[in-house]
Amino acid sequence: MLRATFKSLLAHKLRMAMSAFAIVLGVAFVSGTFVFTDTLNSSFTDLFRQTAPDVTVRPEKAEAAAAGGFTGSDTRVVPADLVDTLAALPGVARADGDVSDQSTFIIGKDGKVVGGNGAPGVAANYNDAPAADGSPIVTITAGVAPTGPGELLLDEKSAATAGYAIGDTVRLVTSGAQPSVTGTMVGTVRFGESGNLVGATLTIMDTATAQQLYLGGADAFNDIAVTGDGSLSNQQLRDAVTAALPAGFEALDDQQIATENENQLQQGLSFITTFLLVFAAVALIVGSFLILNTFSIIVAQRSRELALFRALGASRRQVTRSVLFEALVVGLVGSTVGLLLGFALALGLKALFGAIGLDLSAAGLVFQWRTVAVAYAVGVLITLVAAYLPARHAAKVPPVAAMRDDVAIPESSMHRRLVGGTALTVLGAGLMVWALAFGGGLPPLGGGVFAVFIGVALLSPVIGRPIVTAIAWPYSRLFGTVGVLARENARRNPRRTAATASALMIGLALVTTMAVLGQSTKSSVDELVSTDLKADYVVSNAVQSPFSATIAAQIAEVPGVTAAVPERFGSAKVNGQQTLVAGFDGDQFGRVVAINVKSGDLQTGDDGILVTDTRAATDGWRVGDTVTVDLPAGPAVLRVAGIIATSNFVGADIVLPLAALEAGGVAAMDSLVYVDRAPGADPAAVSAAIGTVLADLPTVTLKDQKAFADSQRAPVDQLLAIIYALLGLAVIIAVLGIVNTLALSVIERTREVGLLRAVGMSRRQLRSMVRLESVAIAVLGAVLGVLLGLVFGISLQRALSGQGFAVLSVPVLQLVVFVVLSGLIGVLAAVFPARRAARMDVLRAITTD
């Protein structure tokens, strides 16, 4: 029995390979995701390990800032005399003061920023303090240490990328009081042991210069690195240091620093992991349809053989198991290939992230047994689950069938399917309506969408038939008998046609949902800019990191500018909950952006906050209430000055006045500056004058309303492109499903094909018959998918209308293109099966049994 199964598997290599391909893609995604994120994780962990000294002393951080990471930098410092105090403690070998900054970018010889795209531009003072593992944190690899203002070192890689050699004048942009800085490069450094900065750039200067640039010239440090003499463990050293610290400072050992960093890292990584795994899931779900179909057809074709097994004494269980065994082998092979492909995928991801600034070239791929286990578990499990129904079905073959010519496994009636499918669809639709009409929120909406999805998939054999008839309506007119035959072929096995089309349906439903949401976002952006943005210009930083507050001040001085209003962002614990907060002065901001004030007003003073109505509702705040906000320096008690409607320009649920942020220890760095022009001023002259202010800062750009809208739409397009590319995989799997079904149908209809040929059908006619059937199936999937996607997209847009999707916009042309493309996909999918049908030998075709 096992042998017979095995041989059957070998005999059906090609079709098995095609269904295995679905598993290969899904598993490749899963394992690629794991390998890549493990690699990222270990690169950063390495980095952290190479950076943390034995004990770090710093101003005490509010719990929120330590756990969640405050995105603005901390302005509070450690006094310089503490360094000597600590160095004199017993068990301490040395103590070194560190000054550092995360937004100092190197401008290359070509005038372009080196790195960027989210990776920090690190600047630090020079010292040769070692990390906890004893290795130097930075090593000078060429030249000498910087000794005065105007001397600096760059890391080797950034120097090479920027095109600087020792002796060259280097330009920097900083977020400090002095936004543009130049200096002479006097050498290069290597960071840690490997020089792996994961895309960040590193500039080193002497301590006095760093203090001048980043600490306003104060003789102080951001933190102090304490190195033990080896007589104490790092924990003991930490306790000894803590005992010697004045109030307001804290000491952390290397493990604590590493944990803190890793917690932050995990938050960042979990997004990437989730994103990629969602696509893996889509690929696997679509793939399971392909597997289910392939196995159903193989079982149908082998029914005579299976009946023979039954006649010769095989039990139902044995028949089921033999089919499942085939699935097991397909799953194992698919998982293995998928795992290997996953490594390739991880390499690709690494290169991709390298291209956008997260340089991992120094890191080797990290391979964990967990990845292998998950890959096989997922691959094999999905295959077995998908093959289970066909396997169960196979056991229903009556033994008598072995004696008959017209073998057919009895089909269970469509009745249960019809009832179940209708019930699910109605239930799902009800849930969606309820969620939309009564504000049930996203979870019930998602549940409804899922139920409708499954319901429609179940119903597809029933609803698919009339749709196929409609799609193939012009066939008989255009293609005569060939068209009629193609239409009937597409209709004769509704389950098979539907299952094949369902795979494409899922892919296209997702694509359409994304297209609707994407288009709505873009329209919403346009709408928002035209209605809410009162400012004439927006100044922002191209590398998504904040810039010096002096820029806003300088722009305000430009003749013809009536207002230059800065906005900042940070993250803080508000009323016990980690929250993104915006910083601006309400009365100023109201002049450049339309804000819908629900109650209170925008006059916040220095101690008033603005909150959105949604957040006010969840936390039960009213105007005049007091709210505690944990800032780096500690908790600040502020009062609610105004309740406003959610706005994309505000971009956060809580707004703090700039003074409150600065008092709380958040560096004065702006993310955006809104600029208003005097009514009579010449636009060209004003923008030219602002341009002069920004001339030294290639990372900061000035945009008028139109350019700003364009720049806000661009990321939507980029994200859509990535999502389309990933969903494209699901579509490829679906296409393979069509190829598989058609190829198998052609083999199954060998006798019929032979008959058609015998009565005079030409090869060309035969090919177009197969092609037309394929087009009908593909368009069926596309139509169902686009319809479902429209429903899902529109309801999601409705549900999210308050969150940047205010305007519904359906990309009709794009959807039509999807359907037409699907038809073309149908033509493509038919190439191989059609050729196979046309090649069939007439005689063999009519004599085969």
Partner 1 sequence: MSTNSSSAPMPTRHGNAAARAIDLRKVYGSGDTQVTALDGVTVEFRPGEFTAIMGPSGSGKSTLMHCLAALDDATSGQVFVGEADLTSLGDKELTRIRRDRIGFVFQAFNLVPTLTAMENITLPMDIAGRKPNKEWLDTVINTVGLSDRLDHKPSQLSGGQQQRVACARALASRPDIVFADEPTGNLDSVSGAEVLGFLRRSVQEFGQTVVMVTHDPNAAGYADRVLFLGDGHIVDEMNEPTSERVLDRMKSFDGAAHAGQVT
Cβ of residue 836: shortest distance to partner 1, in angstroms? 19
* CA 670 to chain centroid: 26
Cβ of residue 728: shortest distance to partner 1, in angstroms? 37
**Residue with Cβ nearer partner 1 (302 or 615):** 302
CB 67 within 8 A of CB 262: no
CB 540 within 8 A of CB 672: yes
- CA 751/CA 768 separation, integer angstroms: 18
Phi-psi region of 363 (alpha: psi -120 to 50; beta: other; left: phi over 0): beta
**Residue with Cβ nearer partner 1 (663 or 846):** 846
What is the DSSP track for 479-529?
HHHHHHHHHHHHHH-HHHHHHHHHHHHHHHHHHHHHHHHHHHHHHHHHHHH
Question: What angle is formed at CA 502 by the lines to CA 454 and CA 741, rounded to 5 degrees?
Answer: 140
Cβ of residue 7: shortest distance to partner 1, in angstroms? 4
**Residue with Cβ nearer partner 1 (3 or 477):** 3
Cβ of residue 313: shortest distance to partner 1, in angstroms? 2
Residue identified by tokens 């097994």 is 309
Q: What are phi and psi of 811, to 5 degrees?
A: -80, 80
- CA 132/CA 50 separation, integer angstroms: 8
Cβ of residue 301: shortest distance to partner 1, in angstroms? 12
- CA 344/CA 701 separation, integer angstroms: 38
Cβ of residue 394: shortest distance to partner 1, in angstroms? 14
Q: Are strands 223-228 and 180-191 parallel, antiparallel or unpaired?
A: unpaired
- CA 849/CA 845 separation, integer angstroms: 9
Cβ of residue 753: shortest distance to partner 1, in angstroms? 19
- CA 15/CA 295 separation, integer angstroms: 9
> Pick from 561, 445, 456, 507: which is nearest to 786 by CA?
507
Cβ of residue 349: shortest distance to partner 1, in angstroms? 42
**Residue with Cβ nearer partner 1 (12 or 238):** 12
**Residue with Cβ nearer partner 1 (317 or 839):** 317
Helices and strands counted in the chain (H then E): 25, 26
**Residue with Cβ nearer partner 1 (352 or 403):** 403
Cβ of residue 322: shortest distance to partner 1, in angstroms? 10
Interface residue list for partner 1 (CB under 8 A)? 1-4, 7-8, 10-11, 304-305, 308-316, 318, 398-400, 402-403, 405, 849
Question: If residue 338 lies in a helix (H) or strand (E), which one and from where to where?
Answer: helix 316-355
**Residue with Cβ nearer partner 1 (248 or 410):** 410
Written as six digits, the tokens of 842 are: 């007439």
**Residue with Cβ nearer partner 1 (318 or 701):** 318
Q: What are phi and psi of 182, to 5 degrees?
A: -125, 155
Residue 718's CB is within 10 A of a number of other CB atoms, namely 11
**Residue with Cβ nearer partner 1 (393 or 568):** 393
Residue 408's CB is within 10 A of a number of other CB atoms, namely 11
- CA 582/CA 573 separation, integer angstroms: 13
**Residue with Cβ nearer partner 1 (2 or 389):** 2
**Residue with Cβ nearer partner 1 (329 or 452):** 329
Cβ of residue 388: shortest distance to partner 1, in angstroms? 20
Query: In a 3-state reduction of DSSP, which class is residue 639?
Result: strand
**Residue with Cβ nearer partner 1 (3 or 839):** 3
How far is residue 419 from each of residues 145, 386, 389, 451, 779, measured CA to CA in Å? 79, 22, 18, 14, 26
Cβ of residue 16: shortest distance to partner 1, in angstroms? 13
- Angle, to 10 degrees, between the axis of helix 812-839 and the axis of helix 763-799? 150
Q: Are strands 55-59 and 223-228 parallel, antiparallel or unpaired?
A: antiparallel
User: Which strands sit side by side in the sheet containing 223-228, from one edge to the other?
Assistant: 92-98, 223-228, 55-59, 249-253
- CA 73/CA 100 separation, integer angstroms: 10
Cβ of residue 401: shortest distance to partner 1, in angstroms? 9
**Residue with Cβ nearer partner 1 (110 or 406):** 406
Identity of the amino acid at 83: V
**Residue with Cβ nearer partner 1 (4 or 414):** 4
